[in-house]
Amino acid sequence: MIKKEKMRVISSRQVAKDTTEMVLQNTYISETSVPGQFLHIFLDGHTLRRPISIADINKDRQTVTILFKKLGDGTEQLAKVTEGMLLDVLGPSGNGFDMCLEEGDTALLIGGGIGVPPMYSLGKKYSERNIQVVSVLGFQSKEYVFYEEKFKELGKTHIVTNDGSYGAKGFVTDVLCKVRGFDHYYSCGPIPMLKSVKNTLEGKRGSISLEERMGCGIGACYACVVPAQTEEGYKKICSDGPVFDVLEVVL
Amino acid sequence: MMNLEVHLPGLNLKNPVMPASGCFGFGREYSQFYDLGKLGAVIMKAATGEARLGNDTPRVAETSSGMLNAIGLQNPGVEKIIENEVPFLAKYDTAIIANVAGSTLEEYEFVASTFNEAKDVCALELNISCPNVKEGGIQFGTDPYMAAKVTEKVKEASNLPVYVKLSPNVTDFVSMAKAVEKAGADGLSMINTITGMQIHLPTQKPLLSNKTGGLSGPAIKPIAIRMIYEVKQQVSIPIIGMGGISNAEDVLEFLLAGASAVAVGAANFTNPFICSEIIDNLPSTLEKYGINSVQDAIGKAVF
Ligand SMILES: Cc1cc2nc3c(=O)[nH]c(=O)nc-3n(C[C@H](O)[C@H](O)[C@H](O)COP(=O)(O)OP(=O)(O)OC[C@H]3O[C@@H](n4cnc5c(N)ncnc54)[C@H](O)[C@@H]3O)c2cc1C
Ligand SMILES: Cc1cc2nc3c(=O)[nH]c(=O)nc-3n(C[C@H](O)[C@H](O)[C@H](O)COP(=O)(O)O)c2cc1C
Ligand code: FES
């Protein structure tokens, strides 16, 4: 169930160019969140909240971690929020990933840019359950790369940059051919990336996490719909997603 | 205790606060936050004759002190709404107002007469002001003759009281209000969103896929107040006021300008508890300004 909670900022630090990692403490949110869900964050002076994925969950410390990139006014303002301050948050919002794999299986995680954060909490959960994790992470260029070490702790990790300034050059799809044998793929990133991942991995089972501009963030306003292969013909990203089976929605 | 009640055609409200159409769905999602029975009424999302899928995304954009939306009247159609949504809302002790939309006179009549058969719907809000669909809606909202015509037809098609929701996107708003009053409207609902646009700098193109959208939120409040104040002087049917309300002071301002009840839209997105919090704060706000009841405040700035 979504609640409106106050979350205390435990730490905020820059982890890459324009990219902030923020650890937030709250009992309810940390106890109920699952990988793939997001927080809908209020920012003073803004009519609309900002959706940000949950990138890590620590039940012992009662924290969740978010990672976000400065893109406009809102994320700029969020990056200025400092330790000790309280954030007004709706969460946990949306549904988590279908964690259908079992011990011995392999999960392929494919994240692009600000689509990388939700992949981390999923990979961590899976690796705790002894599921193999292989990650392919795409960034614009070297200075934007974050969490490489953390993903490496989970399993084999391929970094791709658009300009080749770090890791392989190109797009995540350019290295997918190097990954052999996986049971389910999970992907989050810009729509063009998700489309080409879907095409490249046609026939494989997969889940994708979608982004769209939101109004309410709870399923009431129909701002965030995506065409779907269902009787109604659409799904709401905020409440039916943001995670979908790759065959369920029309990209 | 402060008396918050208001009595309008078809609506005996325990307080004057209701969520605005399109900003509260059919109540389900907000019912996880508080008891909807607390609300004076709920205005449901627009209903059309058949299901509509709405516009492509992006459908919303944030603006200074507000937002643009171009949802495009997405809804499952009047029959499904009566079957699946009205019974849910009817479980709560609150008045249900149905928002009626369409592209043709016949569609408006069909939707209105279908709601007439449904029990539990107390009143109709006749939406002749949606700026976000290509054909329809808006031509009824910008021409006094057409507005009167659709009001008459809907009054004939249904026994429920009809509150006509007017578009602010006209030059002579007062004539529109007078025309629908003459055509038999039981009340007015105002204002709907104001047409606007945002250009997305990275793509250098309009951000919304519909290009234009309706502006709502605090940015439009002074416009709504001015229009209500002007209409109140010329028209005698009651007004449900809306446009940028986000706290109890705003509600009082609308009442003073001439609204008999108010609806809260975009503020539900900022804070899902907003309607409930406004209702809690209304008595002390009225008291602070020496007002004894909601009824006492209505139109006080006008007369
Ligand atoms: C489910 C979900 C999870 C997300 N997770 C993350 C994350 O973990 N890390 C991260 O950096 N970003 C994430 N995003 C994107 C993030 O929400 C936007 O970058 C952010 O809202 C931009 O706000 P702004 O004020 O800085 O930008 P502006 O462009 O000024 O924002 C204007 C408006 O557009 C909306 N908007 C702009 N871009 C996006 C976008 N890509 N997606 C959704 N709304 C947008 C804003 O919320 C705001 O309402 C996620 C988006 C969604 C939908
Ligand atoms: C996302 C959204 C959807 C809306 N949908 C409808 C609708 O279906 N029918 C309608 O009459 N008005 C609709 N409106 C207009 C509101 O009911 C209200 O008149 C307007 O938003 C002004 O109030 P506000 O400033 O409090 O939001 C919508 C507004 C928003 C923001
Ligand atoms: S943002 Fe309102 S329905 Fe998804």
Per residue in B257-266, pLDDT (tens digit) is 999 999 999 9
Report the range of poorest mean pLDDT among A2-6, A180-184, A241-245.
A180-184
Instruction: Report the separation in Å between the CA atom of B192 and the middle of ligand 3, taken as the mean of its atom positions.
Output: 20
Residues A225, B33: C-beta atoms closer than 8 Å: no
- Helix ranges (H only) for chain B are 78-80, 86-90, 105-117, 138-142, 144-157, 173-182, 221-234, 248-257, 267-270, 274-288, 294-297
Query: What's the rounded mean pLDDT across residues B147-175?
Result: 95
Model pTM?
0.97
pLDDT tens for each residue of B43-55 = 999 999 999 999 9
**Residue whose pair of structure tokens reads 């709504």 in the numeric block:** B224
Q: Within an 8 Å CB–CB cutoff, is residue B266 touching chain A?
A: yes
Instruction: Report the separation in Å between the CA atom of B114 and the middle of ligand 2, taken as the mean of its atom positions.
Output: 23
For A211, residues 6+ apart whose C-beta sits below 8 A from its C-beta are A51, A115, A190, A191, A237, A242
Q: Which residue of B has its CA nearest to A212?
A: B58
Backbone φ/ψ region at B285: left (φ over 0), alpha (ψ -120 to 50), beta = alpha
The ligand that comes nearest to the alpha carbon of residue B65 is 2
Q: Where in chain A is the domain with CATH 2.40.30.10?
A: 3-93
**Residue whose pair of structure tokens reads 């009840």 in the numeric block:** B261
Token code pair at residue B57: 């995304």
Backbone angles phi, psi at B66, to 5 degrees: 170, -160
Q: Could you identify the atom of ligand 2 that is nearest to the CA of residue B21?
A: 17
pLDDT exceeds 60 at position B299? yes
What is the rounded radius of gyration, in angstroms, for the C-alpha atoms of chain B?
A: 18
Q: Tell me: cis bond preceding B191? Omega within 30 of 0 counts.
A: yes
Q: Where in chain A is the domain with CATH 3.40.50.80?
A: 106-209
pLDDT tens for each residue of B64-98 = 999 999 999 999 999 999 999 999 999 999 999 99
pLDDT at B136: 54
Q: Which of A47, A220, A224 sits opposite B62 (nearest CB)?
A: A47
pLDDT tens for each residue of B138-158 = 678 889 999 999 999 999 999
Query: What's the rounded mean pLDDT across residues A68-81?
Result: 97
Q: List, in order of start, the domains of chain B with CATH numbers.
A: 6-297 (3.20.20.70)
Q: Within an 8 Å CB–CB cutoff, is residue B77 touching chain A?
A: no
CATH of domain A106-209: 3.40.50.80
Residue identifier of the C-alpha nearest atom 18 of ligand 2? B192
Q: Which CATH superfamily is domain A3-93 in?
A: Translation factors (2.40.30.10)
